[in-house]
């Protein structure tokens, strides 16, 4: 019904109206209690189905976490410092028009419109997702390998690292008005990590367009690293020569390293990394080295002291 009515009303106006109503209702609801669950009106986000999505053999054979939990629980610090405040607040973020600039040490720098990126061959990748805070999920992302985008811009031989810059809009993102991190949020990968077939740019979730709380319209997913490496709402991808200092490294250098590979043997000063709570499960489970992707990515780090390069 919703899609049909949007064919009559201009889509943008229709959505904006709905969003304002939703946001107003949501704000009122969220004031009621800090631990409030998702309000029913917000349970479905995104909504538009992505077509031609292929299954991928890189998916794990585990039960995906409930959609409601994937959308309703997480960190999107630009909007909120708790685990659910971002859900309502992110509704006012404008995700169209959207472009991703791929620049830096490349032969053919380019600005990609989100519509063009959505036309790339899309795959569903069901990945484990492990947050540095000790919880985890299984997420059915939809996207394409970062490598396929990087190939189009032809990285130069001098490019050794890739930097990811997120959208930072003080008007719609309350925490961007506060000096919590050195905004915009930024993350980075070594070039070989970025080119690894598991490294994904996600544009969808559960077969639909990526919901705003999960980093619409496009975000990074690196399943063997802690979740914070997955920069949300990306606007710039820059190829560089030196290891970039990420937003978290600048804010708390002794707690967050550049690599941030999931590692049960390297403790974080705040959270034990030996176990994790899978959202939806009661008992904790053991955390696996590289989040269970050791066979695929272990060779990237041969000879490296993972306690030093945490």
Partner 1 sequence: MQPTPPQLAALKVTLFLLCLAPLAQLAWGAAYNTLGANPIEAITRSTGDWALNFLVITLAVTPLRRATGWAWLIRLRRMLGLFVFFYAVLHLVTYLWLDQFFDWNDIVKDIAKRPFILLGFATFALLLPLAATSSHFALRRLGGRRWQNLHRTIYAIAILAVVHYWWMVKLDTFRPALYAAAIALLLGLRAWWRNAKHLR
Question: Which residues sit at the interface with partner 1, rule CB under 8 A?
Answer: 33, 35-38, 66, 68-69, 72-73, 77, 81, 83-84, 133, 135, 175, 178, 180-181, 251-252, 267, 269-270, 272, 274-275, 277, 279-280, 283-284
285 to 62, 97, 135, 277, 279: CA distances (angstroms): 14, 42, 10, 6, 11
Q: Which is nearer to partner 1, 36 or 53 (CB)?
A: 36
Q: Which is nearer to partner 1, 36 or 101 (CB)?
A: 36
Tell me how far, at minimum, the Cβ of 51 lies from partner 1, in Å: 29
Q: Which is nearer to partner 1, 24 or 180 (CB)?
A: 180
Q: Which is nearer to partner 1, 55 or 250 (CB)?
A: 250
State the DSSP H helix or E strand holding residue 184, giving kind and residue range, or none if neither. Answer: none
- Integer-rounded Cα Rg, in Å, for the chain is 19
Tell me how far, at minimum, the Cβ of 19 lies from partner 1, in Å: 22
Tell me how far, at minimum, the Cβ of 73 lies from partner 1, in Å: 3
Tell me how far, at minimum, the Cβ of 33 lies from partner 1, in Å: 8
Tell me how far, at minimum, the Cβ of 263 lies from partner 1, in Å: 15
Q: Is 139 helix (H, G, I), strand (E, B) or coil?
A: strand
- Cα–Cα distance between 307 and 261 in angstroms, integer? 10
Q: Which is nearer to partner 1, 22 or 83 (CB)?
A: 83
Tell me how far, at minimum, the Cβ of 163 lies from partner 1, in Å: 21
177 to 140, 174, 181, 226, 239: CA distances (angstroms): 32, 6, 10, 26, 28
DSSP E strands in 206-309: the ranges are 208-209, 219-221, 234-240, 275-278, 285-286
> Phi first, then psi: what are they for 228, rounded to 5°?
-65, -15
- Cα–Cα distance between 278 and 280 in angstroms, integer? 6
State the DSSP H helix or E strand holding residue 241, giving kind and residue range, or none if neither. Answer: none
Q: Which is nearer to partner 1, 57 or 283 (CB)?
A: 283
Q: Which residues fall within 8 angstroms of residue 65, CB to CB, at 6 or more apart?
A: 137, 138, 139, 278, 279, 280
Tell me how far, at minimum, the Cβ of 211 lies from partner 1, in Å: 14
Q: Which is nearer to partner 1, 134 or 207 (CB)?
A: 134
Tell me how far, at minimum, the Cβ of 279 lies from partner 1, in Å: 5
> Phi first, then psi: what are they for 5, rounded to 5°?
-65, -30
Return the closest-CA partner of residue 36 out of 76, 65, 72: 72
Q: Which is nearer to partner 1, 95 or 288 (CB)?
A: 288
């Amino acid at each position: 019904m919703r899609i049909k009515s949007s064919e009559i009303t201009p889509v943008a106006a229709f959505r904006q109206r709905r969003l304002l109503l939703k946001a107003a209702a949501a704000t009122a609801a969220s004031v009621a209690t800090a631990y409030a669950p998702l309000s029913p009106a917000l349970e479905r986000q995104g909504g538009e189905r992505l077509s031609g999505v292929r299954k991928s053999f890189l998916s794990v054979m585990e039960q995906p976490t409930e959609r409601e939990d994937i959308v309703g629980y997480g960190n999107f610090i630009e909007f909120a410092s708790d685990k659910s405040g971002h859900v309502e607040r992110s509704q006012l973020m404008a995700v169209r028009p959207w472009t991703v600039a791929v620049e830096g040490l490349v032969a053919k720098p380019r600005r990609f419109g989100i519509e063009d990126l959505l036309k790339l061959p899309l795959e569903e990748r069901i990945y484990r997702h492990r947050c540095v805070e000790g919880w985890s999920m299984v997420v059915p992302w939809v996207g394409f390998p970062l490598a396929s985008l990087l190939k189009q811009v032809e990285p130069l031989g001098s490019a050794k690292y890739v930097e990811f810059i997120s959208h930072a809009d003080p008007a719609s993102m309350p925490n961007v008005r506060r000096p919590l991190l050195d905004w915009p949020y930024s993350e980075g990968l070594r070039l070989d990590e970025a080119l690894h077939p598991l490294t994904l740019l996600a544009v969808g979730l559960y077969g639909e367009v990526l919901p705003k709380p999960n980093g619409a319209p496009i975000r990074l997913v690196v399943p063997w690293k802690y979740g914070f490496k997955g920069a949300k709402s990306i606007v710039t991808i820059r190829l560089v020569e030196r290891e970039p200092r990420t937003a978290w490294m600048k804010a708390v250098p002794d707690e967050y390293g550049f690599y941030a590979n999931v590692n049960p043997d390297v403790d974080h000063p705040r959270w034990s990394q030996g176990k994790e709570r899978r959202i939806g499960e009661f008992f904790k489970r053991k955390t696996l080295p590289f989040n269970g992707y050791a066979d695929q990515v272990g060779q990237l780090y041969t000879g490296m002291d993972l306690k030093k390069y945490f």
